[in-house]
Amino acid sequence: MTFRVRMFSILLLSAVCAPAGTQPGKQLFDYYPPIEPFRTGFLKVSDLHEIYYEISGNPLGHPVMVLHGGPGGGSYPSLRRYHHPEKYQIVLFDQRGAGKSKPYAELKDNTTGALVEDMEKLRKELKIEKMQLFGGSWGSTLALAYAEKYPERVDSMVLRGVFLARKQDIDYFYHGGTGQYFPDVYAKLKAHLPSPDKLNYPKQFLDLLRGEDESARDKVARAWAGYETKVAALETPDAEVESLLNGSDCYNFSLLENWYMANDCFLEEGQLLKDARKVEKIPTVIVHGRYDVICPPSQAYELHQALPGSELVLVESAGHSGSAIPMRSALIHAIRSLEPRILKAGD
């Protein structure tokens, strides 16, 4: 079982125990029933990389491309369940080096620009004219990067847990911002660094994860995965975090995430906000947890300010996790709110 799938399972358990509050006056929605893909495949996107993709829902439905988090997280079955399966053609894919894509954990030619072009190649392969983008956390970053490059191919966006990938956003996550709320968890993570006094943590973690000692690599990968798992939800008891990590493949996720963060996500500083004007006409709903300590709500607010026509939904009783009941309800509500603008008669 992949780390991301097991992480989802434990966060879902936490969510079930959480208060099921949502936005005032709005009906509480939950996942659509489980579905299986009607088509799966691999698309060769370079001499080295092949990406796994799957399609579920209605073959004639409105296309939506779902972008997983991480980087390196990979897709998982619940990502098929935010959209009505009779109305949407739901496309999931694993980004380079992640999930079922090949080669596993490959860093060569693995950049944001390459991922954007992979999305465009997949769109062409599937003969999609325009599509909705649905992404959370790093998925929101990639959605914005793609939409700003190919705005004519995007008819709407639903973005969760916005990550703008600026230096200040990376610094916050690595260099003490999250530690203000989880000081014990952050201290445990820092203990693995050879030079905790030097504020270049992404590079230090990457160097450790690329080291020759497999046992040391696995220990650091587990520490990183445990850190992110613990701080993603409002409540994940330590025993459940440990249970999740036991037997999980944390390496791929930890390696790819630190690869991107150590390289400033392969974006120019402030690029996504600077180019937001290119997508200001695309109907967009931004959904963000009020108590998200991985990506503070200020990032969502800044994006909303840069997109005057967007809707910002701050979800009470929610953190970063997309699986918490209040969050997934708000996301489904956001998708439904866009349907009158994007669904054609008969879809």
Tell me which of 320, 321, 323, 329 is the catalytic residue: 320
Q: Are 2 and 314 in contact (CB under 8 A)?
A: no
Output the DSSP codes for 194-208: S-TTSS-HHHHHHHH
Q: How far apart are CA 302 and CA 57, in angstroms?
A: 34
Q: What share of the chain is helix, strand, coil (3-state, %, to 5)?
A: 45, 15, 40
Q: What CA–CA distances, in Å, run from 71 to 8, 93, 128, 139, 283?
A: 15, 13, 25, 8, 25
* 46: annotated active-site residue: no
Long-range Cβ contacts of 211-217 (<8 Å, 24+ apart) = 217/251
End-to-end, the C-alpha distance of the chain in Å comes to 35
Tell me which of 155, 169, 275, 292 is the catalytic residue: 292
The residues facing 43 across adjacent strands are 51
* 337: annotated active-site residue: no
9 burial via Cβ count (<10 Å: 0-12, 13-18, 19+): middle
* 304: annotated active-site residue: no
Tell me which of 137, 248, 254, 310 is the catalytic residue: 137
Tokens 């799966």, located at residue: 40
Q: How many residues does the chain have?
A: 347
Catalytic residue positions, numbered: 137, 292, 320
